[in-house]
Amino acid sequence: SQQGEEDPQALSIQEGENATMNCSYKTSINNLQWYRQNSGRGLVHLILIRSNEREKHSGRLRVTLDTSKKSSSLLITASRAADTASYFCATARTGQNFVFGPGTRLSVLP
Amino acid sequence: DGGITQSPKYLFRKEGQNVTLSCEQNLNHDAMYWYRQDPGQGLRLIYYSQIVNDFQKGDIAEGYSVSREKKESFPLTVTSAQKNPTAFYLCASSPQYGGNEQFFGPGTRLTVL
């Protein structure tokens, strides 16, 4: 299975702090994506990083990918209470379906 | 939730009944997907459709059925054969099938009474 596995399962931080969550997977991939889900809502795409890329930025988000370790990290800088959500990584291979991990539940305390 | 609608938001079903969840998109996407999410877990793929008039089983298709007669619509029927149907159901679409960004609907929460 190429299942992504996020770590930690849950994370609580204070507003203004940085939040880091990790994703590990088992097989080679074409790209890895991070999604956010607010409680009881659909998922929202945050960022996609391709297998030949090592780092991408989008606003306060920074994603890294280490294909040798089969792992990725999502960093949210200067967190806000509105960042409270579950974050999922999804791995993709050409011609195959996404595989989502179980997610990291982030709580940002005001 | 960008161009994908799901209805109803909440659905209650008695045991032994079939129910159909609606998913409509106006993004002109070829591919559509149905996922199931259980509390504290990730998404599991039920069915997917690469193009209109085509669909394929995902990882947990037993007890479910779909149709794709129109490009914009991909309804999911939860049949009485599904042993544990209480869950949150998410529909998604993407421009083409494959590893591109998926766009998700707001979800339907199904509860079996």
pLDDT tens-digit map of A61-105? 999 999 999 999 999 999 999 999 999 999 988 778 888 989 999
Chain B residues in contact with A90 (beta carbon < 8 A): 102
Interface test with B, best of A38, A39, A41 (most B CBs within 10 A): A41
Residue A1 pLDDT > 50: no
Mean per-residue pLDDT for B75-85? Answer: 93
Angstroms from B41 CA to nearest CA on chain A: 5
Q: Are A30 and A45 in contact (CB under 8 A)?
A: no
A95 touches chain B (CB under 8 A): yes
Look over chain A and give the mean of its residue pLDDT values, rounded to a whole number. Answer: 93
CB contact under 8 A, B98 and A95: yes
Q: Are A106 and A60 in contact (CB under 8 A)?
A: no
| Phi and psi, residue A82, nearest 5° | -70, -10
Compute the distance between CA of residue A55 and CA of residue A64 in angstroms, rounded to an integer.
4
Compute the distance between CA of residue B40 and CA of residue A106 in angstroms, rounded to an integer.
12
CB contact under 8 A, B101 and A45: yes
Compute the distance between CA of residue B77 and CA of residue A38 in angstroms, rounded to an integer.
26
Q: Which of A48, A97, A100 sits opposite B42 (nearest CB)?
A: A100
